[in-house]
């Protein structure tokens, strides 16, 4: 398969979403290659992994420049993920030698996608329920070595087998282990650790020989400039709009892979769209005060405006009065 304009355009869309939201490219790229362009599952997964070796460093470089990466977390996660990614690529080779084994690969991919969709929904619910802002400083986070290595091992194995895990699965695990970090810090750290992880998985894919280089070249041509643009715009991206759309696509792909027929799948996703529309209408009644003011900013509006306009007033009101003797 040579360079395909349609794969280039599709990869550009996926790359832009990855740069904007930090969601794993494998969760979107691999289903697109299989469902829309009829690439065999093992070849789609391996080609995506090889392309990610070029794509991921672009987003990681942007986050390193912004200072949203904890390099110690990156090192511990890579310690677990790199060897497990190579093992996952070997297991993919063992599964991908017959049509029955190809079906097993699709089921494994579908299970990973459904898990990723559920994790994203859970993260959304927890963020809406939590009243505490995520204000931890990335350089001062208390690193937990054992859970961090285990997160890397689990993500590396899944990435090696399915190419899904970096944005869709591993970020939610980091979120539970380090709940006070902002989403941008989690995404930046995860994108950076994904560089050695995808390099190891791609080495395994190249070693076991199921990469279609025409597909890989098409993915790189479309995704790399799009990831750069998306990463540069990520600070302004309307995350509350893009992430639900990505979750919807991941969930639909997962259901398709685990064997849900086309018509029931269409009705299911239509029902989800209707339910989401209804939720959007009643959302202000469920969470009327999603982002409460911090304690320091709880003054009356007029008082806060006065203090902001004249800092001397705030100093005088807070300084103790001297009593004459």
- Which of the two residues, 310 and 165, has the higher pLDDT score? 165
Residues with Cβ within 8 Å of residue 254, at least 6 apart in sequence: 109, 110, 111, 112, 113, 114, 116, 117
Enter the pTM of the model.
0.66
pLDDT of residue 109: 72
Query: To the nearest whole number, what is the mean pLDDT of the chain?
Result: 75
| pLDDT over threshold 70, residue 79 | yes
Span 180-212, pLDDT tens digits: 777 677 778 887 888 888 888 788 778 776 788
Question: 293 phi and psi, to 5 degrees?
Answer: -70, 145
Per-residue pLDDT band at 24 (split at 50, 70, 90): low
Question: Integer distance in angstroms from the first to the last C-alpha of the chain?
Answer: 93
Q: How would you label 19-32 residue by residue, b for 16+ Cβ within 10 Å and e otherwise?
A: bbbbbbbbbbbbbb
Span 116-174, pLDDT tens digits: 788 778 777 776 776 555 555 666 778 899 999 999 998 888 777 766 655 667 777 88
- Give me the residue label for tokens 């699965």: 169
| pLDDT over threshold 50, residue 56 | yes
Q: Helix, strand, or coil here: 225? A: helix
């Amino acid at each position: 398969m040579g360079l395909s304009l349609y794969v280039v355009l599709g990869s550009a869309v996926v790359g832009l979403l990855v740069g904007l939201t930090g969601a794993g490219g494998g969760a979107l790229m691999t289903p697109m290659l299989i469902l829309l362009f009829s690439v065999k599952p093992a070849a789609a997964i391996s080609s995506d992994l090889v392309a990610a070796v070029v794509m991921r460093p672009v987003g990681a470089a942007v986050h390193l420049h912004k200072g949203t990466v904890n390099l110690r977390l990156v090192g511990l996660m890579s310690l677990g993920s790199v060897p497990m990614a190579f093992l996952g690529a070997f297991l993919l080779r063992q599964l991908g030698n017959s049509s029955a084994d190809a079906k097993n690969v699709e089921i494994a991919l579908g299970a990973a996608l459904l898990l990723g969709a559920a994790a994203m929904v859970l993260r959304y619910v927890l963020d809406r329920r939590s009243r505490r802002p995520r204000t931890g400083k990335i350089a001062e986070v208390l690193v937990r070595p054992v859970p961090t290595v285990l997160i890397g091992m689990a993500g590396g194995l899944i990435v090696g087998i399915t190419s899904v895990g970096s944005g869709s699965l591993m970020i939610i695990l980091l979120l539970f282990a380090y709940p006070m970090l902002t989403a941008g810090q989690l995404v930046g750290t995860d994108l950076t650790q994904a560089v050695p992880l995808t390099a190891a998985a791609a080495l395994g894919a190249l070693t076991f020989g199921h990469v279609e280089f025409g597909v890989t070249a098409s993915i790189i041509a479309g995704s790399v400039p799009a990831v750069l643009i998306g990463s540069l715009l990520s600070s302004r991206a309307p995350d509350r709009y893009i992430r639900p759309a990505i979750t919807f696509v991941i969930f639909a792909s997962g259901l398709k892979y685990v064997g849900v027929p086309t018509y029931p799948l269409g009705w299911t996703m239509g029902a989800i769209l209707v339910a989401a529309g209804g939720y959007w209408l009643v959302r202000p009644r469920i969470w009327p005060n999603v982002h409460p003011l911090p304690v320091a900013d709880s003054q009356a509006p007029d008082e806060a405006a006065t203090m902001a306009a004249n800092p001397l007033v705030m100093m005088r009101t807070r300084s103790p009065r001297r009593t004459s003797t």
